[in-house]
């Protein structure tokens, strides 16, 4: 016994030490000025540190089949080269599907500049300018001029100069070797882009300049004329210039895209999610505050209710958090805002395993067993219940990871790690500490604990028909409200459009903001004020975010507000996300149904799925009734509800299966009611602790995750109700073969 405890203790200490080593400090530590004082070991997602998330669609419709095949891959390499020169630390650039490119740019705050560099085609052409004034007059008069194309060039004074460009392209950017930013010696050091051509390009350029002295040569980039100088002499050096009324930044950006090369096909930004650094820091602070408030509340409750056993559970709970952060740091996983929510939720759910074990130990002690025997029996009987409950939740988390994107995957990752960590701490760490306690104090007769429910005998199943009626009525009303709202139920994640969050330095009214939007033809946009009227969220049709920002700056002043975040989703992406969300819910339920059928009976699986559908429908109805929108975080919350609810139901099913072995002469109704009462203490305690941490997330987690935490609050209450009044009682109305034989 002593040797076994020693090796277990060494193993746990080594694992805990490794987790602390990798996770300290888990997050970046900032000084009073907001600068990083010490760099953390966990990668922060864009929603926590600020940055941009873009999805580009590569348009290959005008390419030949052989060119279109590898166009997305070539576009990805070009964009990667541009971003490397842009100077972004640890960008993520990868293909998504056949013709989409996912880009994540941490720390980027200049949205428009980044979008310009990433999305610019960079198709460079040199074309001779027609020098016949009569032909130019025809072109300006909208007459067709054979062999020429009319284009306009911006001049220094802001006018537009018409030019006739020959259709024949003298040279393209394929012959470009390098592009750099330089400054002219005249004109106050005006920046320009210096081009260096390869040998073939240099020879062509020399021939063209030699044969066209006195004519103008236009430099055209992405269909826009930047400069059209007069050729004064032959240029044999293979060097050219792009001049214009550039700022230094514009000249640098043009050089960047030209050095990286032209995109093989045009690209369109179909999804954008940008978060400012201020909102990122605010999210970290509020997330950490929610963890501390929720965690401290649970720790205090466990000590007050379970006394010495509660201290053991708290040590395991703290180790559980350390293990999660250690694993995240070791695998260099990314922690997102929904990931913090997953961590908060894990705190509440991790308590469940300990509560199950402690309540089992209490039951075994009542049978007259010694403390060591009661502990051993309690862990043995709770093992399969804990395994079943956590595996079904893990199925949901894995499906969420498979079908989720970005921050939602972060939530699924944290939740999955949390489930495994909580099983380890509950079944190994607390067992080790219990064994050490009985080894140190062999004469200890019992484990003192408080008890809310001594021997409850509430006739729950007698109220099942009233519960059925109440649930059906709630679902009908909720679905009526949901159907009546129609597309208003869905956020921009599923319908397409734009969401912008602004933080003003002074209070603004919705009427003032709407006046600006009305001037842009966007008067029907949704406006939501919060934060004492200083923060505003605007939901509008996509593609005009820049105009809205410019309009607000003109109305309120350039320094009157900060752009906290911008989300733009194209209609095609919205439709895809909606389809994926439905698929994720369906696959989660199918996975759970298969597992329960394997571990229990098929009828158990069906009643569990009915209860899950009940929970999702009621949650959707409450979302619609409260005027909230379904977004990707809300879908994650719905899937979490599915996992939590099935966790609760599995505990009841496991007890029903166990009681059927010992209550062979009892009817189905008596068995189900007895099982509900036997697990009532665990159900109430687990729901209370989980509700406490989710409530902390709802109150302290911030606006960005408010809908997510609200849906979780509703889901926990509804899930607890459905386990007691829907899933278990349905087994009575769909009796087993044994019950049918008795009848």
How is 397-411 classified by DSSP, letter by letter? HHHHHHH--THHHHH
Q: Does pLDDT of 1 surpass 90?
A: no
pLDDT tens digit sequence for 256-286: 888 888 888 889 888 888 888 777 778 778 8
Q: How far apart are CA 263 and CA 414, in angstroms?
A: 37
Q: Does pLDDT of 672 surpass 90?
A: yes
Kindly report the number of other CB atoms within 10 A of residue 458's CB atom: 13
Lowest mean pLDDT among 24-33, 326-335, 429-438, 440-449: 24-33
Q: How far apart are CA 294 and CA 297, in angstroms?
A: 5
Mean pLDDT (whole number) for 511-536: 87
Query: What's the pLDDT at 735?
Result: 62
pLDDT band at 736 (very low <50, low <70, confident <90, very high): low
The residues pairing with 176 across neighbouring beta strands, listed in sequence order, are 197
Q: How far apart are CA 431 and CA 451, in angstroms?
A: 21
Lowest mean pLDDT among 25-34, 203-212, 470-479: 25-34
Query: What's the pLDDT at 376?
Result: 92
Q: Does pLDDT of 173 surpass 90?
A: no
Query: What's the pLDDT at 743?
Result: 45
Which residue bears the tokens 């975080």? 633
**In terms of C-beta density within 10 A (0-12 exposed, 13-18 middle, 19 or more buried), how is residue 424 classed?**
middle
CA quadruple 515, 520, 525, 529: dihedral, nearest 10: -40
Q: How far apart are CA 372 and CA 165, in angstroms?
A: 93
Mean pLDDT of the chain: 86
pLDDT band at 478 (very low <50, low <70, confident <90, very high): very high
Task: Compare 493 and 76 and report the one with higher pLDDT.
Answer: 76
CA angle 252, 254, 260 (to 5 degrees): 100
pLDDT tens digit sequence for 52-89: 889 999 998 888 888 888 899 989 999 998 888 877 76
Lowest mean pLDDT among 35-39, 80-84, 428-432, 479-483: 35-39
Q: How far apart are CA 149 and CA 463, in angstroms?
A: 81
**3-state helix, strand and coil shares in percent for the chain, rounded to the nearest 5:** 60, 15, 25
Which residue bears the tokens 């080593």? 21
Residues 6+ apart with CB under 8 A from 202: 236, 237, 238
Q: What is the CA radius of gyration of the chain?
A: 33
Q: How far apart are CA 219 and CA 492, in angstroms?
A: 40
Query: What's the pLDDT at 721?
Result: 94
pLDDT band at 465 (very low <50, low <70, confident <90, very high): very high
Q: How far apart are CA 272 and CA 270, in angstroms?
A: 7
Residue 650: C-alpha distances to residues 609, 656, 675 (Å): 12, 10, 12
CA 465 to chain centre: 40
The DSSP symbol for 184 reads: -
378-391 b/e with 16+ CB inside 10 Å = b?
bbebbbebbbbbbb
pLDDT band at 388 (very low <50, low <70, confident <90, very high): confident
User: Which among 554, 548, 550, 506 has a CA at the least distance from the CA of 527?
Assistant: 548
pLDDT tens digit sequence for 289-320: 887 888 888 899 999 999 999 999 999 999 99
Q: How far apart are CA 677 and CA 460, in angstroms?
A: 8
pLDDT tens digit sequence for 571-610: 877 778 778 778 877 888 888 888 888 888 888 888 999 9
pTM of the entire predicted model? 0.78
Q: How far apart are CA 280 and CA 151, in angstroms?
A: 45
Q: Does pLDDT of 741 surpass 80?
A: no
Q: How far apart are CA 141 and CA 136, in angstroms?
A: 8
Q: Are 59 and 268 in contact (CB under 8 A)?
A: yes
Instruction: Give strand ranges (E) for 475-560.
Output: 497-504, 526-530, 535-540
pLDDT tens digit sequence for 615-669: 999 999 999 999 998 888 888 788 778 877 888 888 899 999 889 888 888 888 9
Q: Which helix (H) or strand (E) holds 267?
A: strand 267-275
Q: Does pLDDT of 157 surpass 90?
A: no
Report the share of the chain in percent with pLDDT over 90.
26
The residues pairing with 227 across neighbouring beta strands, listed in sequence order, are 219
Tokens of 709: 């935490």
Q: How far apart are CA 347 and CA 138, in angstroms?
A: 76
Set out the domains of the chain in order of their start, with CATH numbers: 2-25+280-440 (1.20.1640.10), 51-121+270-275 (3.30.70.3400), 124-262 (3.30.1360.200), 460-487+574-742 (1.20.1640.10), 497-569 (3.30.70.3400)
Q: Are 727 and 612 in contact (CB under 8 A)?
A: no
pLDDT band at 723 (very low <50, low <70, confident <90, very high): very high
Q: Is 630 left (phi over 0), alpha (psi -120 to 50) or beta?
A: beta
Tokens of 603: 């009828």
DSSP helix/strand/coil, 719? helix
The DSSP code sequence of 340-399 is HHHHHHHHHHHHHHHHHHHHHHHHHHHTT--HHHHHHHHHHHHHHHHHHHHHHHHHHHHH
């Amino acid at each position: 016994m002593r040797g076994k405890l020693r090796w277990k203790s060494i193993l746990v200490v080594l694992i805990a030490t490794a987790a602390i080593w990798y996770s300290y400090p888990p997050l970046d530590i900032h000084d009073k000025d907001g600068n990083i004082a010490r760099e953390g070991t966990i990668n922060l997602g864009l929603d926590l540190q600020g940055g941009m998330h873009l999805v580009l669609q590569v348009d290959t419709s005008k390419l030949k089949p052989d060119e279109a095949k590898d166009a997305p891959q070539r576009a990805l390499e070009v964009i990667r080269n541009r971003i490397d020169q842009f100077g972004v630390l640890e960008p993520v650039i990868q293909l998504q599907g056949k013709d989409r490119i996912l880009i994540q740019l941490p720390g980027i705050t200049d949205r428009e500049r980044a979008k310009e560099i990433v999305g610019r085609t960079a198709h460079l052409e040199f074309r001779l300018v027609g020098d016949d004034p009569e032909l130019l007059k025809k072109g300006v008069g909208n007459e067709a001029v054979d062999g020429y194309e009319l284009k306009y060039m911006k001049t220094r004074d802001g006018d537009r100069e018409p030019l006739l460009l020959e259709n024949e392209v003298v040279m393209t950017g394929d012959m470009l070797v390098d592009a750099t930013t330089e400054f002219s010696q005249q004109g106050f050091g005006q920046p320009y882009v210096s081009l260096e051509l390869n040998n073939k390009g240099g020879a062509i350029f020399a021939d063209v300049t030699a044969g066209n002295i006195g004519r103008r040569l236009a430099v055209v980039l992405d269909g826009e004329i930047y400069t059209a100088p007069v050729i004064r002499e032959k240029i044999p050096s293979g060097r050219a210039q792009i001049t214009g009324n550039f700022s230094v930044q514009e000249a640098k950006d043009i050089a960047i895209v030209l050095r990286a090369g032209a995109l093989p096909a045009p690209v369109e930004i179909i999804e954008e999610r940008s978060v400012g650094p201020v909102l990122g820091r605010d999210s970290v602070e509020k997330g950490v505050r929610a963890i501390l408030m929720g965690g401290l509340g649970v720790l205090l409750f466990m000590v007050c209710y379970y006394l010495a056993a509660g201290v053991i559970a708290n040590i395991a709970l703290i180790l559980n958090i350390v293990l999660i952060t250690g694993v995240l740091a070791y695998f260099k996983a990314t922690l997102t805002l929904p990931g913090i929510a997953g961590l908060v939720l894990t705190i509440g759910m991790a308590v469940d395993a300990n509560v199950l074990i402690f309540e089992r130990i209490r039951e075994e002690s009542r049978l007259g067993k010694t403390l060591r025997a009661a502990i051993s029996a309690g862990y043995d009987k709770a093992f399969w219940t804990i395994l079943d409950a956590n595996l079904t939740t893990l199925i949901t988390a894995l499906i969420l990871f498979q079908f989720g994107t970005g921050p939602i995957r972060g939530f699924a990752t944290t939740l999955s790690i949390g489930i495994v960590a909580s099983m380890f701490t509950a079944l190994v760490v607390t067992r080790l500490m219990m064994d050490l306690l009985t080894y140190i104090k062999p004469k200890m007769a019992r484990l003192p604990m408080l008890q809310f429910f001594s021997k409850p005998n509430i006739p729950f199943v007698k109220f099942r028909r009233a519960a059925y009626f109440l649930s059906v009525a709630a679902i009908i009303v909720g679905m009526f409200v949901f159907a009546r709202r129609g597309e208003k139920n869905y956020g921009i994640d599923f319908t397409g459009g734009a969401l912008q969050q602004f933080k003003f330095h002074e209070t603004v009214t919705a009427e003032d903001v709407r006046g600006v939007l009305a001037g842009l033809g966007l008067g029907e946009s949704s406006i939501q004020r919060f934060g004492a009227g200083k923060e505003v969220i605007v939901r509008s049709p996509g593609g005009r975010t820049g105009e809205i920002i410019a309009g607000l700056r003109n109305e309120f002043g350039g320094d009157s507000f900060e752009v906290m975040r911008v989300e733009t989703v194209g209609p095609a992406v919205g439709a895809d996300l909606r389809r994926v969300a439905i698929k994720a819910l369906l696959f989660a339920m199918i996975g759970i149904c298969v597992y329960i059928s394997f571990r229990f009976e098929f009828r158990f699986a069906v009643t569990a799925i009915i209860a899950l559908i009940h929970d999702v429908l009621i949650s959707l109805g409450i979302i619609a009734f409260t005027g909230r929108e379904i977004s990707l975080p809300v879908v994650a919350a719905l899937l979490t509800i599915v996992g939590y609810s099935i966790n609760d139901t599995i505990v009841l099913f496991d007890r029903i299966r166990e009681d059927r072995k010992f209550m062979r002469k009892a009817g189905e109704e008596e068995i189900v009611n007895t099982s509900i009462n036997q697990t009532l203490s665990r159900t109430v305690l687990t729901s209370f602790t989980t509700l406490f941490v989710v409530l902390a997330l709802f109150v302290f987690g911030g606006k960005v995750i408010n809908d997510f935490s609200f849906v979780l609050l509703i889901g926990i209450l509804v899930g607890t109700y459905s386990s007691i009044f829907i899933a278990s009682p349905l087994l009575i109305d769909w009796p087993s073969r044994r019950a049918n034989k008795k009848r």
